[in-house]
Amino acid sequence: NHQIHLVSRPAGEAVADNFHMVRTRLPTTLADGQVLVRHHYMSLDPYMRGRMNDAKSYAAPQPLNEVMQGGTVGEVVDSKSPAFAVGDKVVGMGGWQEYQVVDAGKPGMLRKVSTEHVPLSAYLGAVGMPGVTAWYGLTQIIAPKEGQTVLVSAASGAVGSAVGQLAKVRGARAVGIAGGPQKCAYVVDELGFDACIDYRQHADLKSFSQALKQACPDGIDGVFENVGGLGLDAALQRMNAFGRIALCGMIAGYDGQPIPLQQPQLLLTHRLRLEGFIVSEHMELWPQALTELATLVGTGKLKYRETVAEGLAAAPEAFLGLLKGRNFGKQLVKLV
């Protein structure tokens, strides 16, 4: 069984040398209650960058010289648990490795899923943690009314793409921000957003704000923020009174750079509500969210795109690429 460990913590930008591939032996027999899962896909997510630092945060840091933690989907290949049979498709937190031995008795360790209407990989994206993140921020914080305008950054990504489509399902107007003409075209033409702004074309606040004015003629009622920086500053200028900001991520600052707000007073003058959230702290809503997401994906109403790196060894580079926007849609690593 090959694994990738975190062997050093980044000073500033994360680099490939922070990771190291090791080979471990799988146990020859399983203990009672254990299940052996062969991973088909692993998920690479921006939050992993934060956990590489040894800093106080909402989650404990990733331990050094241990397998990188993360979401996985795969197939049960051996089982000593009555709850799982060989051949079952499962979602878990198996980490950056080819196989995992998991104590299936512990709640929340492994979840059986059906691949009848939803492809296995989607359980790491649109019908998984990123999808629920989109659902939570949109429905619980922004709660758009019909006809209202919702703006979302990193709009072509795993979370952002779902935010806009869920907003459209609720009768809202969806406007995206993404990097480059290709991603913007996808967001509008394939995902059905009403408009998308290429932030690379707008290097200063005035130009960004002007672009938002054009794309959002009735102002902005809800912002789903994934990035931080100029886009958020421009959005604040264009927000309507009593708008809501779901602060989901600030990927522009994940290497440690500060991202100050240029005009925080707009929160007051526009009477805005800004709320940060962590999706894993709202487990009670996951079943409801996953049911809607699975139905929408199964019926083709929720579209998504994946960038798939091949093989475990490709994971570190693919992860670094995710932090630079080289992914286009949900970043996965395919193992089988």
If binding is defined by CB under 6 A, does position 196 make contact with ligand NDP?
A: no
∠ CA(51), CA(56), CA(62), 5° rounding? 25
Should residue 176 be labelled a site residue for ligand NDP when binding is judged by CB under 6 A? no
User: Edge-to-edge strand order for the sheet containing 273-276?
Assistant: 195-198, 173-178, 149-153, 220-225, 239-247, 273-276
- What's the min distance (Å) between Cβ of 300 and ligand NDP? 21
Q: Judged by CB under 6 A, does residue 289 bind ligand NDP? A: no
Q: Given candidates 70, 128, 131, 157, which one binds ligand NDP under the rule CB under 6 A?
A: 157
139 touches ligand NDP (CB under 6 A): no
Nearest to ligand NDP of 76, 174 (CB atom): 174
Rounded to the nearest whole angstrom, what is the least distance from the CB of residue 69 to ligand NDP in the complex?
Answer: 14
160 binds ligand NDP (CB under 6 A): yes
Site for ligand NDP in 204-263 (CB under 6 A): 226-227, 248-249, 251-252
Residues 153 and 148: their CA atoms lie apart, in Å, by 17
Angle at 291 between CA 274 and CA 245, to 5 degrees: 10
Distance between CA atoms of residues 30 and 36, nearest Å = 8
Stretch that binds ligand NDP, among 32-40, 78-86, 297-305, 316-324 (CB under 6 A): 316-324
* CB of 279 vs ligand NDP, minimal distance in Å: 4
Cα distances (Å, whole numbers) of residue 238 to 24, 92, 235: 54, 41, 5
- Interacting residue with ligand NDP among 5, 39, 40, 183 (CB under 6 A): 183
**What binding mask, one character per residue, do residues 62-101 give for ligand NDP by CB under 6 A, x or -?**
----------------------------------------
Q: Is 131 in the site for ligand NDP (CB under 6 A)?
A: no
Q: How distant, in Å, are the alpha carbons of 62, 111, 122, 190, 296 from that of 300?
A: 36, 23, 13, 12, 6
Q: Using the rule CB under 6 A, is 127 a contact of ligand NDP?
A: no
Q: Which helix (H) or strand (E) holds 75?
A: strand 72-79
Using CB under 6 A, which of 19, 41, 47, 135 touches ligand NDP? 47
Judge whether 180 and 156 are in contact, CB under 8 Å.
Answer: no
Would you say 133 or 149 has its CB closer to ligand NDP? Answer: 133
d(CA 308, CA 127): 17
Q: Which stretch binds ligand NDP (CB under 6 A): 209-217, 232-240, 275-283, 309-317?
A: 275-283
Q: Which of 30, 169, 325, 334 binds ligand NDP (CB under 6 A)?
A: 325
202 lies in the binding site for ligand NDP (CB under 6 A): no
Let me know: does 194 contact 175? Beta carbons within 8 Å. Answer: yes
Contact call for residues 117 and 142 (beta carbons, < 8 A): no
Q: Which two tokens stand for residue 121?
A: 């990989």
Residues 6+ apart with CB under 8 A from 98: 1, 2, 3, 38, 39, 312, 335
Residue of 70, 71, 179, 243 interacting with ligand NDP (CB under 6 A): 179
Is 279 a residue that touches ligand NDP (CB under 6 A)?
Answer: yes
| Site residues (vs ligand NDP, CB under 6 A) | 45-47, 130, 133, 154, 156-160, 178-179, 183, 226-227, 248-249, 251-252, 277-279, 322-325, 327, 330
